[in-house]
Amino acid sequence: MNKPLAYLREILSNYTDRSDTAEFIFNKIEQGNFSSEESFARSLSDEENNFLNSILPEEIKHANNEDDDTRAKQLNEVFEQLF
């Protein structure tokens, strides 16, 4: 699994207990063999894309506030593919 998707999977684990969409995306990452963030983004439904667009800006901001530049960069790589 590539690093950006591994970071995404990690943050999604914080949402799976309260969001079916988060759980579905989490499982998609676990079961999928995505070669890139782009191939992952192309596999998303509109609902999944919207969900990630709603949580990733805040998660990237949080990583920046914690001076976790690596996490912020990896999550941003996924976020950029959602458009």
Q: Which helix (H) or strand (E) holds 45?
A: none
Percent of the chain with pLDDT over 90: 93
Helices 46-65 and 3-12, axial angle in degrees (round to 10): 90
Distances (CA, A) of 16 to 21, 34, 57: 8, 21, 18
Report the pLDDT averaged over residues 36-51: 96
pLDDT of residue 1 exceeding 80, the answer is no
| Bigger pLDDT: 83 vs 46 | 46
Q: How far is the C-alpha of 64 from the C-alpha of 72, rounded, in Å?
A: 6
Is 45 a residue whose pLDDT tops 80?
A: yes
Q: What is the pTM of this model?
A: 0.92
